[in-house]
Structure 1
């Protein structure tokens, strides 16, 4: 697989089954599983705005023209200091190949090109070393740890926060 074949594209109706699987199959989300979600939410949201809202959105990640997962963003912060928080979910067969790094790089390029956002933030679990490396490869800087910031799998857990500013240089592709 050539990393140049990693592409982000808008969600299509045919993608809704894959998106819904992340809400219903714990093994797909791995350490990011937060419990079962409403099975119809992906379809309702798609039909409302195609998952391209003013405050948040999703794009599908494809590799070699096959759906590999999705990236998402949401507005965060307050007032004039609003920024975007991003995340990614890849299907298990596509992990560990550099696709997540490339997809997050493409998402940051997209957000900086098409919004006035000054800051992009990403958070990950301390045990998710692969995601920490991916964010660093994109150009994110580790900014700190939010202690007991998320409730997952029956316990309060820390989140490592990474930030990327518009003035930071996105790391070159590997």
Structure 2
């Protein structure tokens, strides 16, 4: 990798400024389950399906990696300074014909408000555009998710539309915002 390259790397990890994206480890699963998915409020806001409790030790498809699924690439997110697990990141819905994919991420409650989300989006853009050779990345998020909207826009994503009352979340319909970024518009390290 050239010395002026904006992203670092080491065996099995992509590095941003604050976080690294690495393969999911077995000991990540109980932490992610308890801090992200067992919380019915956050789980309901993050999923496009109703929240339900998951039996400990079960093969929860949101957490257990299927290496034979080419359209879904999950990462665990770690803080670089301490190598501590801080969340999950995913490139999903990968369409190799259209060269497009979607970005998703979830940060543990203790890691929110730290700038990690912006860094995760940046590293996922590097992975999608540079490593995978994709042309378009897309993010769908609830209209009131200001942290995700800010993280996306700092990385150059543009709001492309609003799906009015499209998400049923805890007893009410909420709007969703669609954001997109094309490879030719991506500027590594933009972070405005």
Same fold (TM > 0.5): yes
Q: Is the 8 A contact 2:141 2:176 kept in 1?
A: yes
Q: Does 1:141 align with 2:141?
A: no
The structure 2 residue matched to 1:74, chosen from 92, 106, 109, is: 92
CA displacement at 1:131 relative to structure 2:
1.4
* Residue of structure 2 in register with 1:14 after alignment: 27
Query: How far did residue 44 of structure 1 move?
Result: 9.3
Tell me what 2:39 maps to: 25
Post-superposition, which runs of at least 4 consecutive aligned residues in structure 1 deviate over 6 A? none
Residue 174 of structure 2 corresponds to which residue in structure 1?
157
Unaligned regions of 5+ residues in structure 2, if any?
Answer: 1-15
- 1:58-69 alignment to 2 at 5 Å? 58-63=74-79, 64=81, 65-69=83-87
2:60 is the alignment partner of 1:46: no
Kept in 1: contact 2:91–2:128 (CA 8 A): no
SS at match of 1:163: strand
Q: How many residues in Structure 1 have an aligned counterpart in Structure 2?
A: 169
Decide which moves more: 35-44 or 136-145: 35-44
Cα RMSD after superposing both structures: 2.6
Task: Name whichever structure is richer in helix by fraction.
Answer: 1
Cα 1:161/1:6, change in 2 over 3 Å = same
1:4/1:68 CA distance change after superposition, 3 Å: same
Question: How far off is 1:37 after superposition?
Answer: 4.9
SS in 2 for 1:69: strand
